[in-house]
Copies of this chain bind each other. A is one copy, B any other.
Amino acid sequence: MSTITAVETSDVRFPTSVELDGSDAMNPDPDYSAAYLVIRTDSPDGLEGHGFVFTIGRGNEVEAAAIQALAGHLLGKNCEELLADMGGTWKMMVHDSQLRWLGPEKGVMHMAIGAVVNALWDLKAKRAGLPLWQLLARMSPEEIVALVDFRYLSDALTPAEALDILQRAVPGRQERETMLLAEGYPGYTTTPGWLGYSDERLIRLSGEAVQDGFGQIKLKVGADLDDDIRRLRAARATVGPDVRIAVDANQRWDVDTAVEWIRQLAPFDLAWVEEPTSPDDVLGHAAIARAIAPVRVATGEHVANRVVFKQMLQAGSLQVLQIDAARVAGVNENVAILLLAAKFGVPVCPHAGGVGLCEAVQHLSMFDFVAVSGEKEDRVIEFVDHLHEHFVTPVDVRQGRYWAPLAPGGGSQMLAATLQTYAFPDGPAWAAGIEQEMAH
């Protein structure tokens, strides 16, 4: 047996606001950041579990404090026992009766649990010598069901229904794994479409996206209608009729405004409209979806937990479900959400970008394809070509596709040099310009 000997947290921030990478209608000047943790054990294998919460700057230190608040559930514990029962390990943290008050199951504390859960999965996959997607996709249906907490889900999905979904996918697992390794998984790119970019940059990057093989791009909208129409027209003219264009409002609108605005953009043939309003507004999204059909509503990157996703599926609030690797409580909760989506027959197209979200979330889509939905038609993983160089196993995206990672682990490990250079506020990347940055 081995014992967990350390839970180390870091506050890592990249000064992205300088270039307006990642700018949108609600997030004008993000500094992409990670509240990061490393789990160490006394095992002679020397393997570590790495995980993080993605944030956009201020408050990253609060998220790091929340991760540290969970250390008591790990330090000194038998590592094999925790990893052997990941369903139980998840419940131990999510159901901590005192910490639960701080959500429940939402916000800073829930995301912190997600980082810890993902770090444990990273360690478990490294010990198994498998990439996370393959580790998950080789578990039995019964083992996968045991990862999920069905509390608050049973009116929409029972353990028996989940088991049935997974069992139906077993016969095709091998064939789909082979297909995945040969073909990759489709991606789409948001790189051209940030609001802070000039029209010239938008057009140039849209053209490059098509040349790079992407079948879909995404544009940020919602700040100014005339700007949105002009930018969409330019993008459509650049990519032609066969490349899909999605738009993303980043929660900018109320219900009525969303409906009116989207109707103005619909002639440009939208793949979906993302985050039209508050991510908490199940009924609002449903009203928007009814009004703008057949244009599809997509949401999920800010949906707090599986209970809200459940309702969005029940109410028809979304036609594209966007999981995020670092918003809910980690792999286990995303497995629950993948099963809910499969039950309702809704395609899952993950949110990614940020810091490490591409590296992490690809494992979940690939697991979904092999062992849950069995589908990758009409499914794409978001891609932003940004900050991947800071990861030990960066994504391999070529020809508009994610190529399945083969390195053991969950993809979440940053380079040691990055953790030092971008440590906030004392790392070399910050120490010089810190006063200027803190001021804005």
Is the C-beta of A281 less than 8 angstroms from some C-beta in chain B? yes
Please encode chain A, from 17 to 29, with 1 for each CB lying within 8 Å of some chain B CB and 0 for all others.
0000000001111
Interface size classification for chain A: 35 or more
Indicate whether A198 reaches chain B with its CB closer than 8 angstroms.
no
Is the beta-carbon distance between B438 and A99 smaller than 8 angstroms?
no
Whether A66 pairs with B72 at a CB distance below 8 angstroms is: no
**Contact A102 to B26, CB < 8 A, known contacts A107-B108, A281-B307, A307-B281:** no
Question: A280, B105: Cβ atoms under 8 Å?
Answer: yes
CB of A436 within 8 A of chain B?
A: no
Say yes or no: B305 contacts A102, CB within 8 Å: no
Contacts of A55 in B (CB 8 A): 98, 101-102
Is A31's CB within 8 Å of the partner chain B? yes
The verdict on A69 contacting chain B, using a C-beta distance below 8 Å, is yes
Residues of B within 8 A of A284 (CB): 152, 155, 307, 311
Partner of A279, one of B56, B97, B104, B279: B104
A382 at the interface (CB under 8 A from B): no
B108 near A109 with CB under 8 A, answer yes
Contacting B at CB under 8 A, from A85-109, are 96-109
A28-B102 contact in complex given A108-B107, A109-B108, A311-B282, C-beta closer than 8 Å: no
Any chain B CB within 8 A of the CB of A256?
yes
Whether, in the assembled complex, A65 has its beta carbon less than 8 Å from a beta carbon of chain B, the answer is: yes
**Distance from A156 Cβ to chain B, minimum over Cβ atoms (Å):** 9
Q: Mark A180-198, 1 if CB is under 8 A from B, else 0.
A: 0000000000000000000
- Tell whether A146 is near chain B: CB-to-CB under 8 Å: no
Complex CA–CA separation, A110 to B256 (angstroms): 26
Asked whether A300 is an interface residue with its Cβ less than 8 Å from the other chain, the reply is: no
A104 touches B251 (CB 8 A): yes
Decide: A106 near B107, CB < 8 A? Known: A97-B30, A256-B154: yes
User: Which residues of chain B are near A256, meaning CB under 8 Å?
Assistant: 154-155
Q: How many copies does the complex hold?
A: 2
- Complex Cα distance, B303 from A308, in Å, reads 13
Residue A130 at the chain B interface, CB threshold 8 Å: no
Whether B255 pairs with A155 at a CB distance below 8 angstroms is yes
List chain B residues, Cβ under 8 A from A28: 97
Q: Which residues of A190-235 have CB atoms within 8 Å of chain B's CB atoms?
A: none
A302 contacts the other chain (CB 8 A): yes
**In chain B, what residue has the closest Cβ to A284?**
B155
CB atoms of A97 and B27 under 8 A apart? yes
Asked whether A254 is an interface residue with its Cβ less than 8 Å from the other chain, the reply is yes
Nearest-neighbor residue (CB-CB) of A281 within chain B: B307
A284-303 interface bits toward B, Cβ cutoff 8 Å, 1 = contact, 0 = none: 10010000000000000010
Cβ contact of A30, chosen from B56, B98, B278, B438, cutoff 8 A: B98
- Residue in A62, A281, A284, A304 with the greatest tally of chain B CB atoms within 10 Å: A62
A63 within 8 A of B: yes
- On chain B, the residues within 8 Å of A100 by CB distance are 26-27
| B281 with A104: CB separation less than 8 A | no
What is the minimal beta-carbon distance from A355 to any residue of chain B, in angstroms? Answer: 12
User: Is A59 interfacial (CB-CB < 8 Å)?
Assistant: yes
| CB-based nearest B residue for A99 | B59
A51 close to chain B: CB less than 8 A? no
Q: List chain B residues, Cβ under 8 A from A278.
A: 104-105, 151-152, 307
Q: Contact flags (1/0) for A50-70 with B, using CB distance below 8 Å?
A: 000001111101110110010
Q: B58 contacts A26, CB within 8 Å?
A: no
Instruction: Say whether A10 faces chain B, with CB atoms less than 8 Å apart.
Output: no
Contact partners of A108 in chain B: CB under 8 A: 62, 66, 102, 107-109
Within the complex, the shortest CB–CB distance from A33 to chain B, in Å, comes to 9
Q: How far is the CA of A63 from the CA of B284 in the complex (A)?
A: 30
A-B contact pairs, 10 of them (CB 8 A): A55-B98, A57-B98, A59-B101, A62-B65, A62-B102, A102-B108, A108-B109, A152-B277, A280-B308, A283-B314
